[in-house]
Each structure stands twice: as structure tokens, then as C-alpha cells.
Structure 1
């Protein structure tokens, strides 16, 4: 079964939407093992002239099964995504449910295995109307930057987020709390699947940047630092690389894998979206 939660979206329009005829969509992605022996993150995307899909997944489980879970999530979502699907919250939820079914079927066929599971975050954009929708399970986040400032971010499915929601702290505790890695929802859990979605399609405008990133990424980069580094970057690829270098400098002995995909609306470098599929990670 699936529980779908609609996340509020509030971003006042800053300027008129760009001319769709001249729109470009840039993508950059990066996945790094951190200081772990194995990279259990996976990410990938598929773009076309009609619609686009991006996915980041952070796997977990014993004996290296986390990388199996995250790769299965990414491949299942990209295999189930076709350009004719509308870029809506309903599509994002259906894709995440397909990933849940794939992981649960794998676990049923391999009962000797461990309790592998994964976070998953899907971003969809209609290439013609430049409207976006997203859905997530776990603590892999979506950020929307407008005028180089964060105007939206998803809320984690985590124990610490529940503490905050109940009034036992504010967002300042989310990166340092000893229980920050405990999830309340994940792909591969036998409980009812909780999916949070963006709600009605979000109209994107020229200059908008979306970031999908695992907890290993955002835990070591506060939002104000992301904004400042975006301000200093000439492309989303440069931005991701700059943030990754900053994370590497701040890594502890056993720092987690970290992965991200950045999507830019409008031209920085004149690269027109082409039909392609790419997967990186484990």
C-alpha cells in the first residue's frame, strides 16, 4: 500500500516565465564514495524533447546490498519512465511505487539476504511547458533555487524531522543529532510506503536550478553555503564540483557516500537537451 503526502510549495514569482522556444535544460551529476569502501549511492537520468526524469537513491543494508538496492531503484524508475508520461506528482508516485515493488520482489526471491533498502527521490520536468513535479521517500532531498536562493526544500522522512515537527528542536539539530540517520520511510521496507510529492505542477522560470542530493551531500553543506557557491559558479557542473570539493575537505574518518544531480533551466552553456540516459554510482 502507498501513503502519499503532498508537500506545500511556496515560491513567489520573481519574473515572467522564459520563452519555451528558447529554453534549455542542463544536467550535471556526481557520485562519490566518501570515506566508505563501497559507494551505495546511485543516480541517473533520462531526457527527451517531451519530458525528463532524474533520480537519486541512497542504499543501505549489510554485506554491500545497499548498492544493489539503489541501483535497482534507479534502473527500475528509468525503465518505467517513458517520454509520454506526464510530469506530475501522480507519475512520480507511481515510479516510486514501481521501485518499491521491484525491491520487495527481489527480497522475496532471496529470503537469505539482509534487509536492504534505499531512499529515492524523483524529479520530473515537462520539456515543453517547463513544469516540474517530484516525489521522495527517505531523506534524499530536492531543493529549488530561484535567483540563487533556496525557495523550497523537501522535508525528510526521518526520526529527527519528526522531533522537529513535534517541537523538540528546530532545523539546527538536523545535521548533528545522533539519530539523524534513522528513517521513517524507505524503499524496501515492508511497512506501508510513505511517499511525499510536490502537489500541482510547479512552473519553472529562466534561471531556476534544482538540486537532488543524498544525505551525505546536504549534511556537510548548509543551504547558505550552497547558495553562495551557486552564486560563484558559471554552470551547474562547476557548482557540483565546487560543492564536492568542499565536502571532501569537511569529511570525517567514516564519512558517508555523497551524490547529487543539478538541473538548470535556461542557458548558462548553450547545451540543448538531447535524448539520453545516464547512470552513475555504485
Structure 2
């Protein structure tokens, strides 16, 4: 369920999340779990992806979430270490769900978490659930998958592009519950935050099907249009449009502008550790050629940063269930082509408001006035054409003209075209039929 929230801490956050079982009929029990809340150390956001089959996987992810938040419900002088320790305790709690140590088939769960506090953003994770950070139009991975495919990429055996669709892509090397003690990866230095920063945590149900550049394009458009909750909806819908082979969970948080404190002056740290990915002093992004996150993604070579999204191709498919029958609208700024065979894309549009009664009367009156003017102009030209046609017939008719005693014609062309008579028409021999037809048609 999407529930936007606003933090009252010194680092204000707007937060929303969404979890969906996906489209696989065998995975309709959602084994993902997510939660966000303020804790004494800051603002904590966690996404877990359970495994072990249906109820076991769901119980594992929920047990992990509950344990982490319970352990973080106390102040700690080192927030990052407190988060790491809480996840380690959660690993033991999930391990205990599997019964005796000799049991081979045990429930487990991945975990990706961030803790936002005045000193920065702590990042800790286990498994292949991912974290991303968006700043100033660029997207940065802040986690590295604990998976067999990632190990092959690190060893130079595979490129990130080769990893897509690899038969071992779903095999992870770390998870809560696999062993009694789990190795939690904690970033050694918190990432400095700045107003406008966006944090995204997601399970592999999203990251397997939606590239980082597409995530960025969706966030930029959807947040501007309707906010974080709508962006969550769009990302989940996009993953489902690509097949929805797994449970999909997205958690978004955007850093707001902190209120000024009376008597205090805001300062910017003069130095920031190089390990604080990817932001140098002052919170500005490095140039595109700078070495930023060391975590490779499917869109980049190992060790290189993600490039800004540029308009280089069709927009990703976007669906809103409420407007599934609407017209397709391209999403600008995306750089990836949608997967062939995905359902048609629609960008939701607000339904047009029904015109008021007064507006309808004004429109009807305008139509009547315009129609009257058209009829007047058409009548004028029709009359002129009739007069011109009669003149042509007189010129080409070989018969002699009437005597001077014939009635004089009116000088008004409209009267002339309607009152001119042919006194000799009954007695004179008929002219060739093609002449008057040709002359009359030319006159019209």
C-alpha cells in the first residue's frame, strides 16, 4: 500500500512505498516486505526480499524487518555500526526459523537499508536487493549485489551486458538465514545528503526488469507530475509490463529543505572522505568523467559512473491501471527501448472536465452565427456565378440579339442574374447542347 509520509526529524524526508506480488501465478504470496520510520538515530528505511517458498519467505522477510526496527529503537553514538549490528541480529532471527542446523532447506531474506541522519546516509545490505541515489539528473548505485553473476563481473569473466539473462542471475552468495552469522556490508563512510536527493530501495523484481536509466526517467517525470507515491506506482507497473516474474517492492525517499535553526548558521563540511559515494565537498556531483560509484550496473562497465540520461530513444512503457485505456503518450528523457512484446504504454491523463451549460450555449450561438455568415457568402457567390453564366451563354449563342425595344436590364448584377428573360427562346433553334453546359459549368 502506498503511504506518503513526512519526517519531523532534522533531515526532513518525503517517503512512499509500494509492494506488488507481480504477475506470476505461482508467486502471488508476496514474500517482499518494506518499512520506514523514525528511530532515535535518524530515519530508517528497509526493504527485504524473502525466499524459501510462499509463507516461509514471507515470514523470513517480515521477521527481518521487525528485528531490525526493534534493535534500532535505541540511541547509539555510531548510527552506521548500530544498523550493521541490527541486521546481523536479524540474520540470526531468520536463521532460527529454519529449525535445527542440519536442515538444508531454510527460509531466508535479502536486506537493503539506509539510515538518514544529520551526519549523512548510512547504507547497509545483504543479497541482491538494491539501493540507488538520484541527484541533479544522475542516478548512482549505492549497493553492490552479493551474487554469483556479480562475482563473475568483478573477476572480468562477464561484462554487465553479458550478465543480463545469465542462467546464474538468480543465485545470491549472501542472505539472512543462510547461516547463523551473516556478513553485512556497511559503507565505511556515510554519504552526504542535500535537499532534493532521492533514495530508492527495491527488490530484484524491479531491478531485473527496469534499467537504471529507465528508473531515472520514470522518477523525473512521475515525481514532477504527481509525487513520490505516483512514481512508486509507475515503477511497479513498468516491471509488470515487462513480465512481472517476481514480487516487486519499491521504497522512495526524497530529502527536503531543513528549516533554519534560530541563532545557528548552516555550514557545509570542508572535507568529505573519498569513500563517501559519490559526492564531493558541498554536495555537488562530479563531472561525468570522474570516478564515482565503484558498483557496476547493467548499464555500465565496472568502476565507471552511470551517465546522465539523454534523449536517445523511445520512452519506457508506463501504465496506470486507472487509465489503462487512454492514449499513449511518450515519456521524454528516457534512453532505453522497451522490451518487445510488452503491453502498450499509456501515460495517465486527467479526464477532461465536462463543459458547463453556459459554455455550451455560447458555443452553440457561435456555431449558428458562423453558419449564417457562411450561407450569406455562399448565396452571394452563387448569384454572381449565375449572372456570369448567363453572360457566357449570350456571348456564345449565334442567334441575333433582341431589338432595341426589349426591356432594359437592371444594372444590379444580383437582379440581372435572376430577372433577365429570353423572349426568343421559344422560337429560336436550339444551340449545341455542349456549349451551354460548358459555359454554365465555367460560370459556377
* Candidates 252, 255, 275, aligned match of 1:262: 252
* Residue of 30, 48, 52 corresponding to 1:61: 52
Deviation at residue 145 of structure 1 after TM alignment: 1.0
Check conservation: 1:148, 1:230, Cα contact below 8 A: no
* Shift, 1:192, TM fit: 5.1
**Alignment root-mean-square deviation, CA:** 2.4
Q: Secondary structure at the match of 1:172?
A: helix
**Equivalents in 2 of 1:160, 1:118: separation in Å?**
18
2:231 paired residue among 239, 259, 264: 239
Instruction: Give 1:241 deviation, angstroms.
Output: 1.2
Runs of 4+ in 1 over 3 A off after TM superposition: 20-23, 85-88, 108-114
TM-score (norm 1): 0.79
Seen in structure 2, the aligned counterparts of structure 1 residues 168 and 237 have a Cα distance that, compared at 3 Å, is same
- Structure 1, unmatched stretches of 5+, are 1-19, 268-282
CA-to-aligned-CA distance 1:111-146 (integer Å, 9 cap, x gap):
8794111101121111xx151101100001111111
Shift of 1:92: 2.0
Task: Give the superposition deviation at 1:89.
Answer: 2.7
Tell me the equivalent position of 2:82.
Answer: 91
Bigger proportion of residues as strand: 1
Per the alignment, in what secondary structure is the counterpart of residue 200 of structure 2?
strand
- Normalized against structure 2, the TM-score is what? 0.51
The residue correspondences of 1:14-163 to structure 2 (distance < 5 A) are: 24-35=12-23, 36-47=27-38, 51-62=42-53, 64-82=55-73, 84-86=75-77, 88-108=79-99, 114-126=105-117, 129=118, 131-163=120-152
Whole-Å separation in 2 of the counterparts to 1:245 and 1:63? 22
Task: Tell me the SS of whatever aligns to 1:62.
Answer: coil
Q: How many residues align?
A: 244
Q: 2:172 aligns to what? A: 183
How far 1:174 sits from its partner (Å)?
3.3
Give the direction of change, closer, same or farther, for the CA distance of 1:106–1:192 in structure 2 (3 Å limit). Answer: closer
The structure having more radius of gyration, on CA atoms, is 2
How far apart are the structure 2 equivalents of 1:21 and 1:69?
30
Verify: 1:193 aligned to 2:182, yes or no.
Answer: yes
Q: Distance in 1 between matches of 2:119 and 2:125?
A: 20
